[in-house]
Amino acid sequence: MSGTTTAGTRRSAGVPRQRVRRAQWLTSLGDRRPDAGANRWTVLVVLCVSLLLVAVDATVLHVAVPAVTEDLRPGAVQLLWIVDAYPLVCASLLILFGTLGDRVGRRRVLLLGYGLFGVASALAALAPNPEVLIGARALLGVGGAMIMPATLSVLRQVFPDRRERALAVGIWSAVAAVGAALGPLVGGFLLEHFWWGSVFLINIPLMAVSLPVGRLLLPESTGDRDGPWDVAGALMAAFGLFGLVLAVKRLGGGEPPLTLATVVPGAVGAALLVLFVRRQRRRTHPLVDLGLFTRPAFGTSVGCIVLAMLALVGLELIAAQYLQLVLGLTPLQTGLRLLPLTLAAMAAGLAGSRMLHRLGPRVMVGFGFVLTAAAVLSLTAMGADDRPALLFGCFVVLGFGLETTLFGAYESMLSEAPAESAGGAAAIGETSYQLGAGMGIALLGSVMNATYAPGVAGTRGVPEAAAGSASHSLGEAYDVASRLDGPAGSALRAAARNAFVHGLHVTLGVSAVLLLAGAVAALRLPRRF
């Protein structure tokens, strides 16, 4: 009877022998179900490649800004939007596309993100004017918002075992750290040999490969499809986050806090997010399961991600200014000095799974915060003279400690979220990451400015108008000093340098307090893995 069944199966529906062989070949590559064994690590490689591109693109333009300015001649506002359009749009749409993936399929959203990212990259590379480049950068943000939460939610789906998922999250986070560091280095290399558009063209061949490979290997998965998708709620979340992130970025850029350009988008964004939360609580089938925040481990993990990024990004920005303006290093030398931070973060990501097994989430996240705070406080020993050994050691400890914190927080957040809400949970995590980064620039930048300005304003022997002009930033102070004659220029330069170092020490102290607050918050996380 079994022989009859086999023969009947071969003849059924007239299935061609070539199609049967192709199906067998695909099966040999690995089962595409979410719980497939041999294929999950191949899926992780595909996800990491796509994440690497998104992370690189977030920073690759920074070194190309002078070349873009020389070629396209954008105005000051246009240049600001060229740089900020990508992170603004990306942060605003993470929840929209993360929850959409739960509804229509995470693989489908991810593949659409690949295609859009490739098209937007070509448009940016060939942009003839600032307006087209701004639009292309915004489209890149849309593509990035489709890719980032999808990579994390697919990872949650294909690694149902928590121990294996911990290792996968460690590799994922290490790749994110590598991408952020590679951006300026890759951009600098390309600019030495090609025109500025080449920093975008590198995305196209990789996306061209990722699309068919992802279509072949990535599993499709969805979450809870009950009820209609809340389009109005998705738009409220998107515009609310856009207004809030825009206001935070303006504060971080030195805008006065009470100007209309800062207050209006911030107030409108906050109001829309409040309405969004109220709407989700009333709906039978909410867009985002706010009940996740009633779980102590989930809400605490999100808060720890915000605090970690708040401390890191502001510090990186100030450290880059210190290395270039106080120590006089070139941009390439500055990038090399900051490289140990990234390499240490990579090491922490790869070792994170083993640490999590031994320490548990509570100790691991708290230990990472304390280690980072110790490194930050050690950096207060920096002064006007170069101390490379001190900087190297502090950056290594800083990178290792911070990645340890982020790893433990992300893993706890994903493990607390049910599989059907993986896209929404991943979007919440990525949004908290982006908001923490923006808030860090705004908060620590404001502390830096508040402590720097008084040290310059009263410089003896320097005209009051010149000292006032120099009180905005160290770079501007150097520019003003270069136009002053005699000892006045030297006095202003020395006063500005000393004021910057003093402001740096105060900012490091504030950052350490925030990190220690994160260590206290981590006490709410589970003790055991």
In this structure, are 332 and 273 located in the same domain? no
Q: Which amino acid is at 25?
A: W
In this structure, are 298 and 247 located in the same domain? no
Dist. CA 38–CA 31, nearest whole Å: 8
131-145, 149-163, 239-253: which has the highest mean pLDDT? 131-145
In this structure, are 274 and 314 located in the same domain? no
Instruction: Count the neighbouring beta carbons within 10 Å of the beta carbon of residue 379.
Output: 25
Question: Which domain does 254 fall in, by range?
Answer: 230-286
Please report which confidence band the pLDDT of residue 486 belongs to, taking 50, 70 and 90 as the band edges: low
- The predicted structure's pLDDT at residue 146: 86
Dist. CA 9–CA 343, nearest whole Å: 55
Inside any domain, residue 20? no
In this structure, are 312 and 260 located in the same domain? no
Which of 71, 93, 97 minimizes the C-alpha distance to 82?
Answer: 71
Inside any domain, residue 151? yes
pLDDT at 79 > cutoff 80: no
Q: Which CATH number do you get for residue 298?
A: 1.20.1250.20
Boundary-marking domain end, from 172, 189, 221: 221
Helix runs in 194-230, H state only: 198-201, 203-217
Average pLDDT over residues 367-381: 91
- The predicted structure's pLDDT at residue 69: 77
In this structure, are 133 and 246 located in the same domain? no
Please report which confidence band the pLDDT of residue 62 belongs to, taking 50, 70 and 90 as the band edges: low
pLDDT at 256 > cutoff 90: no
216-225, 237-246, 298-307: which has the highest mean pLDDT? 298-307
CB 457 within 8 A of CB 449: no
- The predicted structure's pLDDT at residue 299: 84
User: In the 8-state DSSP scheme, what is residue 323?
Assistant: I
pLDDT at 103 > cutoff 80: no
Boundary-marking domain end, from 286, 306, 331: 286
Indicate the length of the chain as a whole number. 529
Dist. CA 194–CA 288, nearest whole Å: 45
- The predicted structure's pLDDT at residue 8: 42
Inside any domain, residue 70? yes
Sequence-separated (6 or more) residues with CB below 8 Å from residue 378: 390, 393, 394, 397
Inside any domain, residue 490? yes
CB 139 within 8 A of CB 119: yes
Q: 139: number of CA atoms within 13 Å, CB side?
A: 21
Inside any domain, residue 454? yes
Dist. CA 280–CA 111, nearest whole Å: 28
In this structure, are 36 and 120 located in the same domain? yes
Q: Which of the pair, 294 or 127, is modelled with greater confidence?
A: 127
Q: Give me the number of domains the chain comprises.
A: 3
- Here the contacts of 291-298 (C-beta below 8 Å, separation 24 or greater) are 292/416, 292/417, 292/421, 292/424, 292/425, 292/428, 295/416, 296/524, 296/525, 297/361, 297/412, 297/413, 297/415, 297/416, 297/524, 297/525, 297/526, 298/412, 298/413, 298/416, 298/417, 298/425
In this structure, are 181 and 253 located in the same domain? no
Inside any domain, residue 9? no
Instruction: Count the neighbouring beta carbons within 10 Å of the beta carbon of residue 24.
Output: 9
Chain centroid to CA 227: 32
Instruction: Count the neighbouring beta carbons within 10 Å of the beta carbon of residue 356.
Output: 25
For 20-73, what is the HEC assignment? HHHHHHHHHHCCCCCCCCCCHHHHHHHHHHHHHHHHHHHHHHHHHHHHHHHHHC
Which of 142, 177, 103 minimizes the C-alpha distance to 422?
Answer: 103
In this structure, are 179 and 245 located in the same domain? no
Dist. CA 36–CA 243, nearest whole Å: 42
In this structure, are 387 and 521 located in the same domain? yes
Q: 506: number of CA atoms within 13 Å, CB side?
A: 17
pLDDT at 23 > cutoff 60: no
In this structure, are 446 and 509 located in the same domain? yes
Least confident residue range of 192-201, 209-218, 476-485: 476-485
In this structure, are 241 and 305 located in the same domain? no
Compute the mean pLDDT over every residue in the chain, rounded to the nearest whole number.
Answer: 76
In this structure, are 296 and 434 located in the same domain? yes
Inside any domain, residue 19? no
Boundary-marking domain end, from 221, 241, 275: 221
Query: pTM above 0.85?
Result: no
